[in-house]
Amino acid sequence: MKKVHIKSIGTVIPLGDGATGKSLITKLLIKNTKDLNEALKLAQDVKKSLNIELEYCNEELEFEDKTVSTTLQYHVFPGQQQKISNSAPTFHEIVEIFNFLPSLKAVKVILMVFDVTRLESLKSLESWLAVAMQREWISSETKIILVANKIDILKPNKAFIEQVKNGIYQMLTAENINVSREQISSIEVSAVLLEGTQELRNEIFDWVALNGKQRIVEE
Amino acid sequence: METSSFMSSLNYIQITTFFLVVLGVVMLLVSIYTVLKFMQVLKVNEFEKNQWYVIIVLIFFFVVGYTIHALDVFKVFSFPVDPALMVSLIYFFGAVFVIRAMISTEDMVKSILGEILTDNEAYTIFLKRLGAVENDFPHLKDSFSITCEHCNNKITYTIADVVRQHSNIGDKGVNTQTTFGVRSILLRPTHKCVGGRREIITVHDGDLAYRSIDQSRIIFGEKI
């Protein structure tokens, strides 16, 4: 039986405070880095983001009945919500400018990135999630992945992470956003040791392949 | 003319006494000013300051005693007390002053190091701070262990230890944070570390079970 060939595309937005690892994780996911030295070099090259970073990557995924050419469009915004200087735009200023992008109308994956060594960065995700809700980025087709970064320094408490995921679900449903509990997942990552990055990449690709904006190429 | 004749009539003991007493009184007045300034600092940092009033009163007595003694030496005023008894009185109150100053200093140092509160008092302060009762926290009286990443030492602490360590700070080393509806209790146990005294933020869940450590910082330098 010949498989159907489908193209699927989806927007991925990493959200979280500055210095939580959004840019580095995005670069690792896009480059599909498996070499620690390369990861280290990427980590050294990452600079504070002052503008939106748009990156793309593709992968062909094989399913039982179909082949899905999956394209991820990463939109990485700066992590600072407060104005620190005239030359450094804030997240909100950047979003205002780029909000017209059609890709922001159908966000498929939101990565909520926090630094496990800074509880404050997890607390800040409340306001990041509020922004995502306000911008209507979250729908029944959006996967929300809580990314606990820097686990090479500290292992997060799993029970706590579960409670936070429940809290996210309750926050969304309280705003009448139609999501299921399964849409909210979590993953522990060490961007410098490449722990969890492959699983994160697979989870994002799988979701976008099945839930992205799709077009049949050939039957 | 009368003054110069009075001065010329003084012997070397009286002149020495004059300078010593004047110098002593000036130093005592400076001491009163210093204690008053010091008490302003205590006020800001919630230390008990009443005992330092006693020190001021004692210093003031010394000023009066020195002055009377000087007047007695100059025969301006004769204090109706035997000079030997006067010296003994000054010695006695000197000892009272020293012991009072030592007790006050000890209390303050204990207060800084958090050794004044008993465990029960510390737990009561903790519960009051969170507006809770003992039954709210199954792990209230547990002992917790963490490892400092700077000195690699194992640090064991209880809630009572944390409250004692921060007994002079308004938050008593205890804060709460709610993230996505999940309550965390943040404690700041301190320990002697490389470079000084360090406090580590530890995260506990709503039952006070230990969850993780957060950031740390040096709160006193090496010399304190």
- What pLDDT, in 10s, does the model give residues A174-210? 999 999 999 999 999 999 899 999 999 999 999 999 9
Please check whether residue B198 is in contact with residue B219, taking contact to mean a CB–CB distance below 8 angstroms. Answer: yes
A77, A13 in Cβ contact below 8 A?
yes
Asked if the model's pLDDT at residue B1 lies above 60, the reply is no
Q: Are A187 and A147 in contact (CB under 8 A)?
A: yes
pLDDT digits (tens, 9 = 90+) for A38-79: 988 888 888 776 778 888 999 999 998 899 999 999 998 877
B211 touches chain A (CB under 8 A): yes
Whether the CA torsion B7, B10, B11, B14 is positive or negative: it is negative
Contacts of A32 (CB under 8 A, 6+ apart): A57, A201
Determine if residue B104 is left, alpha or beta; phi over 0 gives left, psi from -120 to 50 gives alpha, anything else beta: alpha
Distance CA A218, CA A198 (A): 30
| Closest-CA residue to A204 (of A15, A14, A38) | A14
Where does the pLDDT of residue B224 fall: very low under 50, low under 70, confident under 90, or very high at 90 and above?
Answer: very low
Residues B82 and B126 in one domain: no
Q: How many CB pairs under 8 A join A and B?
A: 49
B12 interfacial to chain A (CB closer than 8 Å): no
> Looking at residue B130, what DSSP letter applies?
H
List A54's β-bridge partners, or say none.
A75
| Domain match, B105 and B12 both | yes
Domain span holding position B192: 119-220
Residue of B136 and B74 predicted with greater confidence? B136
Domain boundary pick from B76, B97, B113: B113
Residues B81 and B167 in one domain: no
Question: DSSP state, A195?
Answer: B
Q: What fold does the segment set A4-218 form as a domain?
A: Rossmann fold (3.40.50)
Q: Check if A123 contacts B (Cβ < 8 Å).
A: yes
Which of B58, B78, B113 marks a domain boundary? B113
CA angle B184, B188, B189 (to 5 degrees): 130
Query: Rounded to whole angstroms, how far apart are CA atoms B200 and B206?
Result: 19
Is residue B20 domain-shared with residue B88, that is, in the same domain? yes
Residues 6+ apart with CB under 8 A from A67: A3, A4, A5, A6, A60, A61
- Where along chain A do its domains lie? 4-218
Confidence of residue B44 (pLDDT cuts 50, 70, 90): low
Residues B151 and B99 in one domain: no
Final residue in a domain of this structure, among B73, B97, B113: B113
Task: Give long-range contacts, CB 8 A cutoff, 24+ apart: B48-53.
Answer: B48/B107, B48/B108, B48/B111, B51/B100, B51/B103, B51/B104, B51/B107, B52/B104
Cα gap A20→A148, rounded to integer Å: 9
Cα(A138)–Cα(A5) distance, rounded to whole angstroms? Answer: 27
State residue B2's pLDDT score.
59
The reported pLDDT for the residue numbered A102 is 82
Is residue B55 within 8 Å of B98, Cβ to Cβ?
A: no
Rounded mean pLDDT of B121-147? 93
In this structure, chain A runs to a length of 219
pLDDT band at A148 (very low <50, low <70, confident <90, very high): very high
Whether residue A156 lies within 8 A of chain B, CB to CB, comes out as yes
The alpha-carbon gap from A170 to the nearest alpha carbon of chain B, in Å, equals 8
Domain co-membership, B104 together with B33? yes
- Most B CBs within 10 Å, among A163, A166, A173, A184, to test the B interface: A163
Q: What total of structural domains would you count in chain B?
A: 2
Cβ–Cβ gap B177/A118 under 8 Å: no
**Is residue A85 predicted with pLDDT exceeding 80?**
no
Cα B102 to Cα B161: distance, rounded to the nearest angstrom: 25
Task: Identify whether residues B100 and B184 lie together within a single domain.
Answer: no
Q: Measured between beta carbons, which residues in chain B are less than 8 angstroms from residue A170?
A: 180-181
User: In this structure, what are the phi and psi dihedrals at residue B82, rounded to the nearest 5 degrees?
Assistant: -60, 135
What the block records as the tokens of A37 is 């030295």
For residue A118, CA distances in Å to A89, A112, A113, B126, B149 come to 24, 14, 12, 24, 15
Number of Cβ within 10 Å of residue A218's Cβ equals: 9
Contact B205 A160 (CB under 8 A): yes
Distance between CA A139 and CA A172 in Å, rounded? 10
Prediction ipTM score: 0.82
pTM of the full structure: 0.73
Average pLDDT of span A146-164? 92
How confident is residue A19, by pLDDT bands cut at 50, 70 and 90? confident
pLDDT band at B222 (very low <50, low <70, confident <90, very high): low
- Shared-domain flag, residues B36 and B136: no
Residues A61 and A208: beta-carbon distance below 8 Å = no
